[in-house]
């Protein structure tokens, strides 16, 4: 675990400017032809120690480039790269069709839905190989800084001029020469009286290949056929590195959400994997988990999406839930194999936990005045998002607040996956009042204890009983905090908590079901939530995201999202509210399948309030148009159809429902009890394709501590007192089978994490002094045409993001007094995107984040 800074300025986080380097590694040497045969993952896991964290380069007040990373392991890191440092990348993030290609760009090539299927886990030369004209691999250096820094000045000018319809297109466009050389040429050219920025961009930038979907539904094709066929359309092969691109190359095949979201996104992927599990596309699901693990190995965490401009933040941590889902097929070897990455993920989210004083915060960690440790969303940069650059500048200009503060809150809002929602807005409806970093969110604070439960289980399998006991204890402490801090008795729901004001936000949202989904609510709380959901969130087409309407944000009423329906159905089932769960599933399937029958596509989100079904899904809202595809809608719909065949048949106007089997629990059920057979063990012992590891968590040198002072709760009575520890976490996984544990060697103790005993004294409840700071060292650092296409300069548009999560089945809900062997919580949802709903896809690419 990396220590927090030695000194901080109260209430002030570093204000980075576009010219400053981001808090991400500057450059990484990527040797060509890096197809290696490393020790098997199982062998690596046996070592037991998490990847060593190196000090990440950081933003400093007197330099425009981050220092080189240092560490005892990993590839050679070059010195700070100038703005022209080449960047690696691959295919584009946008699946929506665009205007005719600009001069010098690739011609449009359509890829039809019935094209070649994904080859699953067959590796190709990984994302670090770029062939020269002579056919020999040429070494590249990956510049991990975002385009807004690498192309300082030029990038801002492109955004201000609205050269592209979608601001994200500028972040994905690939320069034709080293950025430093291009900037020098630009600075000379712009002095000429006849200079045209639009022409300059058309000459010097190429848009990545756009793989969109040209899909025509056959007359007798049902929605299940559509989903099965879309796996091929949405799959992407391992990436080949492209010089100067912002894409982070991945070594294995993966599935993108769809529409404009044509990279791998973090939490979206979990809900997509539900469908892969249902279709038994296990090789592809396993490859996606390996891609996630590869990003943890290289960057110290899983970024929001596989682009350099997403590296300064992550997304709701669903990696442990993905491993649960994989273990349903592969057994316990999945936990021991990915233990190093699970540990590194935890270290990233809990960075600074040992040093944060009561009433203070550092990066993702917040310690309340009574000593309770919680998590918030955070981004290491306080500049406009690259993918929504002009929009963020406009939002900050309207706010009347320090611009850096607004930018960071917008970025943190993107990390939630709910970009954007009235949940994050101080006045409930104006985006410029966003204050995400002030909030302890329900989803995030349920996912952290699940990660702790998973670590406990994995260490138990490795024979490290001390580490297992420690993480079980930490998980229970966090679950107790969720039940105490995030429970709003007045609303009878789990609600986000404003840690600076010391009170609940009182905004009711679909996130109230997440503690049920993760089996972290008490039976009394679950009963109250079921009634609240029925009375306030359930509409004709399913659950609305929040009860707020009129905000113009896409994660508010009247919109419903697939991850929320999935988590609600599974969570209610786990606490015995089967009738309500079935009702939600039926209404959602009726809305999604009814829209499919009108349009022939599945969408990112749906208006669930309107009694009439629109073929376009509804008005949408947010920063970008409706997107089609769509990964998490496809995956969760398939899971619900398989569990509720009677409702499915009624919706599809097929044979009347009769004599159907009883619904089975939604996956995963009991991943800790699945044994690895010989076939699974052999798969994990085979050579794998790896990228040069880079275990670096991007941590800035400038302090990220935020102490609240007088705005913090002034007495312990404003925060319910910490409950005494109980025997075990409500979602603690069952003890690993002796046979599985005996076959594994002991693992080293995980990197230290704060035991976090809450301070119960009156002094701890008081706001910290202005100079109170951690006394430790600075931490380390409607449808769209699946085609190759490019976007010509066009008027501006906007973009956004989304997210969700999931939990475990055990037959009976876990409670506060559950034994230590109680079952863990399950996987969670993913990101969202947008597009149009015509059968032949054409449309714009608005900015967005997942």
CA dihedral (598, 604, 608, 609) in degrees, to 10, reads -100
Distance CA 229, CA 212 (A): 14
Domain tally, the chain: 1
What DSSP assignment string belongs to 3-25? PPPS---TT------TTSPPSS-
Alpha-carbon dihedral of residues 525, 531, 537, 538, nearest 10 degrees?
A: 130
More confident residue, 48 or 159: 159
Give the pLDDT score at 684.
84
Measured in residues, the chain has a length of 850
DSSP 804: -
Q: Residue 429, CB half-sphere, CA atoms under 13 Å: how many? A: 7
Check whether 797 has a pLDDT greater than 80: no
Distance CA 833, CA 844 (A): 12
Active site residue 263: no
Q: What is the mean pLDDT of residues 757-767?
A: 37
Answer whether 847's CB lies under 8 Å from 798's CB. Answer: yes
Q: What is the span of the domain harbouring residue 66?
A: 27-788
Other C-beta atoms closer than 10 Å to the C-beta of 26 total 27
CA angle centred on 38, ends 32 and 41, rounded to 5°: 130
Percentage of residues of the chain with pLDDT beyond 90: 50
Structural domain contains residue 703: yes
427 pLDDT higher than 60: yes
Task: Tell me the three state secondary structure of residue 373.
Answer: strand
Helix (H) or strand (E) holding 198: helix 197-204
DSSP-derived secondary structure letter, 463: T
- What is the rounded distance in angstroms from the CA atom of residue 168 to the CA atom of residue 406? 19
Flag whether 815 is in a domain. no
- Which one is predicted more confidently, 9 or 1? 1
Distances (CA, A) of 137 to 131, 178, 250, 531, 827: 4, 19, 18, 62, 39
Considering only CA atoms, which of 530, 652, 497 is closest in space to residue 586?
652
**Residue carrying structure tokens 């005993």:** 757
Of 46-60, 288-302, 329-343, 371-385, the least confident? 46-60
Q: Residue for token digits 């599945």?
A: 602
Contact 828, 588 (CB under 8 A): no
List Cβ neighbours of 578 (8 Å cut-off, separation of 6 or more).
572, 663
Q: Which distant-in-sequence residues (6+ apart) come within 8 Å of 394 by Cβ?
A: none
The torsion region of residue 502 among left (phi > 0), alpha (psi -120 to 50) and beta comes to left
Burial class (CB within 10 angstroms; exposed 0-12, middle 13-18, buried 19+) of 490: exposed
Would you place residue 680 in the very low, low, confident or very high pLDDT band (cuts 50, 70, 90)?
Answer: confident
Distance CA 491, CA 496 (A): 12
Distances (CA, A) of 32 to 141, 689, 742: 10, 13, 40
pLDDT band at 787 (very low <50, low <70, confident <90, very high): very low
pLDDT in tens, 552-608: 899 999 999 999 999 999 999 999 999 999 999 999 999 999 998 888 888 999 999
Instruction: Give yes or no for residue 289 having a pLDDT over 50.
Output: yes
**Measured distance CA(447)–CA(418) in Å, rounded:** 16
For 606, phi then psi, to 5°, come to: -140, 145
314 pLDDT more than 60: yes
Residue 188: pLDDT band (50, 70, 90) is: very high
Distance CA 197, CA 204 (A): 11
Dist CA 316 CA 319 (whole Å): 9
Does a structural domain hold residue 540? Answer: yes
Contact by Cβ (8 Å): 670, 685? no
Q: Which of 106-120, 452-466, 778-792 has the highest mean pLDDT?
A: 452-466
**What whole-number distance in Å separates Cα of residue 554 and Cα of residue 625?**
10
pLDDT score recorded for residue 563: 97
pLDDT of 607-665, one tens digit each? 999 999 988 887 776 666 667 778 899 999 999 999 998 777 677 654 333 334 546 78
Give the three-class secondary structure for 525. Answer: helix
- Which residue in the block uniquely carries the two structure tokens 């409607």? 782
220 by Cβ neighbours in 10 Å (0-12 / 13-18 / 19+) ranks as exposed
Structural domain includes residue 407: yes
Lowest mean pLDDT among 83-97, 197-211, 234-248, 343-357: 83-97
Task: Decide if 419 is catalytic.
Answer: yes
Q: Is pLDDT above 90 for 268?
A: yes
Contact 623, 419 (CB under 8 A): yes
Q: Which two tokens stand for residue 704?
A: 């990220």
pLDDT given for residue 211 in this prediction: 62
Does residue 806 sit within a domain?
Answer: no
Task: Say if CB 12 and CB 368 are below 8 A apart.
Answer: no
Answer yes or no: are the C-beta atoms of 828 and 274 closer than 8 Å: no
Residue 109 DSSP label? E
pLDDT for 105 beyond 60: no
Q: Is the pLDDT of residue 541 over 80?
A: yes
Buried b / exposed e along 634-666 (16+ C-beta atoms within 10 A) = bbbbbbbbbbbebbbbbbbeeeeeeeeeebeeb
Rg of the chain, C-alpha, whole Å? 25
> Of residues 604, 791, 831, 844, which has the active-site annotation?
604
| Contact in structure between 604 and 621 (CB atoms under 8 Å) | no
Question: Which pLDDT score, from 0 to 100, does residue 776 have?
Answer: 40
This prediction's pTM: 0.69
Tell me how far apart the alpha carbons of residues 625 and 845 are, in angstroms, rounded to a whole number.
8
Burial (Cβ within 10 Å: 0-12, 13-18, ≥19) of residue 540: middle
For the chain, the maximum distance between any two Cα atoms, rounded to a whole number of angstroms, is: 78
Over residues 503-514, the mean pLDDT reads 97
Contact 360, 367 (CB under 8 A): yes
Report H helices in 692-817: 738-742
Q: Which pLDDT belongs to residue 621?
A: 67
Residue that is written with structure tokens 């240092």 in the block: 70
Residue 343, in any domain of the structure: yes
Report the b/e string of 338-353 with b at 16+ CB within 10 A: bbbbbbbbbbbbbbbb
Catalytic residue among 92, 95, 209, 419: 419
In a domain, residue 458? The reply is yes
Q: What is the pLDDT of residues 106-137, one digit of tens each?
A: 333 333 333 333 333 333 333 333 233 333 34
pLDDT score at 600: 85
pLDDT of residue 258: 80
Write the burial class of residue 130 (CB in 10 Å: 0-12 exposed, 13-18 middle, 19+ buried).
Answer: buried
Q: Is 305 or 233 the better-scoring residue by pLDDT?
A: 305
In CATH, what number is assigned to the domain containing residue 640? 1.50.10.10
What does pLDDT average to over the chain?
73
Q: Name the band, by pLDDT with cuts 50, 70 and 90, for residue 84.
A: very low
- Which single residue is written with the structure tokens 């596509």? 601
CA distances from 220 to 225, 551, 600, 654 (A): 10, 40, 11, 12
In whole angstroms, what is the distance from residue 482 CA to residue 515 CA? Answer: 8
> What is the percent of the chain where pLDDT is above 70?
60
Q: Is residue 635 reached through a cis peptide bond, with omega within 30 degrees of 0 on the bond before it?
A: no
Give burial (CB, 10 Å; 0-12/13-18/19+) of 192: exposed
- Give the C-alpha separation, 599 to 401, whole Å: 44
Instruction: Note whether residue 843 is domain-resident.
Output: no
């Amino acid at each position: 675990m990396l220590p927090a800074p030695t000194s901080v300025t109260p209430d002030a986080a570093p204000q980075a400017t576009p010219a400053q380097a981001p808090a991400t590694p500057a450059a990484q040497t990527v040797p060509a032809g890096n197809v290696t045969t490393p020790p098997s993952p199982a062998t690596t896991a046996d070592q037991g120690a998490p990847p060593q964290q190196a000090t990440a380069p950081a933003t400093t007040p007197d330099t425009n480039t981050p220092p080189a990373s240092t560490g005892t392991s990993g590839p050679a890191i070059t010195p700070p790269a100038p703005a022209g440092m080449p960047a690696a990348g691959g295919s584009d993030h946008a699946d929506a069709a665009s205007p005719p290609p600009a001069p010098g760009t690739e011609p449009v090539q359509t890829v039809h839905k019935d094209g070649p299927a994904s080859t699953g886990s067959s590796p190709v030369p990984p994302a670090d190989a770029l062939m020269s004209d002579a056919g020999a691999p040429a070494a590249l250096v990956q510049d991990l800084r975002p385009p807004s820094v690498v192309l300082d000045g030029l990038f801002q000018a492109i955004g201000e001029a609205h050269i592209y319809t979608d601001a994200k297109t500028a972040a994905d466009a690939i320069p034709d020469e080293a950025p430093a050389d291009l900037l020098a040429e630009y600075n000379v050219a712009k002095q000429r009286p006849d200079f045209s920025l639009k022409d300059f961009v058309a000459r010097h930038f190429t848009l990545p290949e756009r793989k969109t979907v040209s899909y025509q539904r056959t007359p007798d094709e049902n929605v299940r056929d559509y989903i099965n066929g879309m796996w091929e359309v949405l799959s992407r092969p391992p990436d080949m590195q492209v010089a100067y691109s912002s894409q982070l190359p991945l070594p294995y095949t993966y599935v993108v959400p769809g529409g404009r979201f044509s990279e791998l996104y973090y939490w979206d992927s979990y809900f997509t994997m539900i469908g892969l599990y249902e279709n038994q596309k296990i090789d592809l699901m396993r490859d996606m988990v390996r891609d996630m693990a590869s990003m943890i190995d290289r960057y110290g965490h899983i970024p929001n999406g596989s682009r350099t401009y997403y590296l300064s933040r992550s997304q709701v941590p669903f990696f442990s839930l993905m491993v649960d889902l994989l273990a349903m097929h592969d057994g316990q070897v999945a936990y021991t194999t990915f233990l190093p990455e699970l540990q590194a993920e935890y270290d990233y989210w809990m960075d600074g936990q040992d040093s944060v004083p009561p009433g203070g915060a550092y990066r993702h960690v917040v310690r309340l005045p009574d000593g309770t440790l919680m998590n918030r969303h955070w981004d290491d940069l306080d500049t406009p998002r690259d993918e929504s650059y002009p929009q963020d500048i406009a939002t900050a200009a309207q706010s009347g607040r320090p611009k850096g503060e607004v930018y960071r809150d917008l970025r943190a809002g993107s990390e939630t996956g709910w970009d954007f929602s009235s949940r994050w807005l101080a006045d409930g409806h104006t985006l410029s009042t966003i204050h995400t970093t002030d909030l302890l969110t329900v989803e995030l604070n349920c996912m952290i204890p699940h990660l702790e439960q998973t670590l406990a289980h994995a260490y138990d399998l490795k024979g490290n009983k001390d580490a297992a006991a420690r993480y079980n204890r930490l998980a229970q402490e966090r679950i107790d905090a969720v039940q105490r801090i995030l429970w709003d008795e007045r609303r009878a729901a789990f609600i986000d908590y404003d840690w600076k004001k010391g009170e609940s936000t009182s905004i009711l949202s679909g996130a109230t079901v997440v503690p049920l989904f993760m089996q972290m609510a008490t039976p009394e709380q679950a009963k109250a939530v079921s009634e609240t959901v029925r009375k306030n969130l359930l509409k004709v087409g399913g659950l609305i995201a929040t009860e707020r309407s009129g905000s113009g944000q896409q994660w508010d009423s009247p919109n419903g999202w697939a991850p929320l329906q999935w988590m609600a159905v599974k969570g209610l089932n786990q606490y015995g509210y089967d009738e309500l769960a079935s009702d939600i599933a039926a209404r959602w399937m009726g809305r999604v399948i009814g829209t499919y029958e009108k349009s022939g596509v599945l969408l990112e989100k749906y208006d669930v309030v309107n009694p009439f079904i629109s073929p376009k899904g509804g008005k949408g809202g947010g920063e970008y148009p409706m997107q089609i595809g769509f990964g998490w809608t496809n995956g969760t719909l398939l899971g619900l159809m398989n569990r509720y065949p009677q409702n499915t048949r009624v919706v599809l106007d097929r044979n009347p429902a009769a004599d159907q089997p009883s619904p089975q629990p939604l996956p995963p059920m009991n991943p800790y009890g699945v044994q690895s057979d010989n076939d699974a063990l052999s798969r994990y012992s085979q050579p794998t394709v790896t990228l040069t590891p880079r275990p670096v968590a991007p941590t800035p040198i400038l302090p990220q501590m935020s102490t609240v002072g007088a705005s913090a709760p002034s007495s312990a009575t404003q925060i319910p007192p910490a409950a005494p520890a109980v025997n075990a976490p409500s979602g603690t996984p069952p003890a690993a089978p002796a046979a599985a544990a005996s076959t594994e060697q002991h693992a080293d103790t995980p990197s230290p994490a704060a035991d976090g005993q809450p301070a119960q004294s009156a002094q701890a409840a008081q706001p910290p002094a202005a100079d109170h700071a951690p006394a430790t060292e600075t931490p380390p650092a409607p449808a769209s045409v699946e085609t190759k296409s490019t976007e010509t300069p066009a008027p501006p548009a906007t973009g956004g993001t989304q997210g969700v999560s999931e939990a475990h089945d055990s037959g009976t809900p876990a409670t506060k007094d559950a034994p230590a062997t109680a079952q863990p919580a399950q996987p969670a949802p993913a990101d969202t995107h947008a597009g149009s709903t015509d059968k032949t896809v054409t449309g714009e690419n608005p900015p967005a984040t997942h």
